[in-house]
Amino acid sequence: MTLHPIVGHEKARESLAGAHARHVLPAALLMHGARGVGKQRLALWLAQLLVCERPDVGPCGTCAPCRMAMSLEHPDIHWYFPLARPKGASGDKLVDALEDARQEALRQMRQEPLRASHSEEVRGLYLGMAKHIRARAHKRPVMAAGQVFIIGEAELLVPQESSPEAANALLKLLEEPPGNARFILTSSEPGRLLSTILSRTVPLHLTCLPDEDVAEFLEREAGVEPELASWAARLGHGSPGRALGFLPDGEEPGPLEALRQRALEIVTAATAPRRSAGYTLALGFPPAGARSLTALFAFVEEWLRDLAAVATGADALNEDARQTLERRIGEAGLAPFDLARAFGSVQRARELALANVNPQLVVSGLVRDLQAELPASAASGAVA
């Protein structure tokens, strides 16, 4: 199996290819944009271009280095991405365990290259991975003029064990890449990166794609029916990786669709007459792994935004649920101004989740705070 064809970002590719042809491509790039918009796929495209024997406006796709890059087997292209921390490993054993886990993940990607960008696992780019990158960067390239290191979701270099060691371990490499080494970092939250990393990389922002392009990609590469592809593309907000997360997984909803519906349950509980609804809902969450809640809270914000939009007659992001939103507004008597204030409650819950507070406490606290920010719901007949 090979990587799926790259979709969109034509101007970015043209700019990168031109910089490479003029020998002015920066040694350390930071590609940032919405989650699932194709940042890591573009980074792999650029790595393929860098090792290609006959580059033009892009990699030729037919030379041996190009074919090896497309199958994730080129010895000078090294792709690192967040992983779950291996259990029972520390020190040098952790370095080896993380590398084994990365190789296994690459093997799975070769077998199934089309994947949603969402993961429910708590993952990180640990110090052991940074040590492995640093050791490999000082070795001579095998085939190409220089090695290429891709570090996906680089914002996760920081929030592990409350310390920035993994990020700091890469600073010297980014400042003075050894030999002809290149570093391509990607991030959907560049604000979480250390300022020292931001100052050592050249940013490249990737915009979201038109819904039509995303739908066409889903139909062509994932074999999705047109109606389902259009629905997922609208919810994907211009990000193919995000759109894939809404597609059904057999008889089960996709991981992002499941999160979207659970977020709606939180908002419904917060606007329900019974104050105890939040506690009942919170008991359905596990007692650990709070950092995985951040994706859920993004959907809570979307639902709050949609309630405010529908209350003023504007279009909703979740337009397929417009009748549900209108009914919720009518039953709870929600006002747009109160809904706008509620976003602060979601941000506080997100901060608690990143601090790894018990998820049940975070969710119940979020519902309680939302109820306090939405006095209209309390006025509709709330009871204890």
User: Which residue among 178, 206, 234 closes a domain?
Assistant: 206
Q: Which two tokens stand for residue 186?
A: 């990607």
Answer yes or no: do 129 and 179 share one domain: yes
Is 323 within the bounds of a domain?
A: yes
Question: What string of DSSP letters covers 215-283?
Answer: HHHHHHHH---HHHHHHHHHHHTT-HHHHHTTS-BTTBPPHHHHHHHHHHHHHHHHTSSBTTHHHHHHT
Answer yes or no: do 280 and 224 share one domain: no
Write the pLDDT tens digit of every residue in 75-96: 999 999 988 888 877 767 888 8
Is 162 within the bounds of a domain?
A: yes
Q: Which two tokens stand for residue 84?
A: 């779950």
Element (H, E) at 204: strand 202-206
Is 270 within the bounds of a domain?
A: yes
| Cα separation, 131 vs 371, whole angstroms | 47
Answer yes or no: do 116 and 180 share one domain: yes
Rounded mean pLDDT, 316-343: 89
Residue type, 340: A
| Contact call for residues 384 and 275 (beta carbons, < 8 A) | yes
Answer yes or no: do 78 and 42 share one domain: yes
Is 5 within the bounds of a domain?
A: no
Answer yes or no: do 33 and 152 share one domain: yes
What is the pLDDT, as a whole number, of residue 337? 83
Answer yes or no: do 129 and 273 share one domain: no
Question: Which range is least confidently modeled, 86-90, 164-168, 345-349?
Answer: 164-168
Answer yes or no: do 64 and 145 share one domain: yes
Is 384 within the bounds of a domain?
A: no
Residues 6 or more apart whose CB falls under 8 angstroms from that of 172 comprise: none
Residues 6 or more apart whose CB falls under 8 angstroms from that of 279 comprise: 364, 367
What is the pLDDT, as a whole number, of residue 173? 85
| Cα separation, 80 vs 90, whole angstroms | 19
pLDDT tops 80 at residue 351: yes
Answer yes or no: do 232 and 318 share one domain: no
Answer yes or no: do 30 and 58 share one domain: yes
User: Which residue among 144, 174, 206 closes a domain?
Assistant: 206
Domain of 44? Answer: 10-206
- Domain CATH number, residue 52: 3.40.50.300
- What's the number of domains the chain is made of? 3
What is the pLDDT, as a whole number, of residue 381? 43
Answer yes or no: do 370 and 348 share one domain: yes
Write the pLDDT tens digit of every residue in 367-378: 999 988 886 444
| Contact call for residues 359 and 285 (beta carbons, < 8 A) | yes
Backbone angle region of 325, left / alpha / beta, with phi > 0 → left and psi within -120 to 50 → alpha: alpha
Answer yes or no: do 198 and 267 share one domain: no
Question: Which range is least confidently modeled, 55-59, 163-167, 170-174?
Answer: 163-167
- Domain CATH number, residue 310: 1.20.272
pTM as predicted: 0.86
Categorize the per-residue pLDDT at 21 as very low, low, confident or very high, splitting at 50, 70 and 90. very high
Answer yes or no: do 367 and 277 share one domain: yes
Categorize the per-residue pLDDT at 53 as very low, low, confident or very high, splitting at 50, 70 and 90. very high
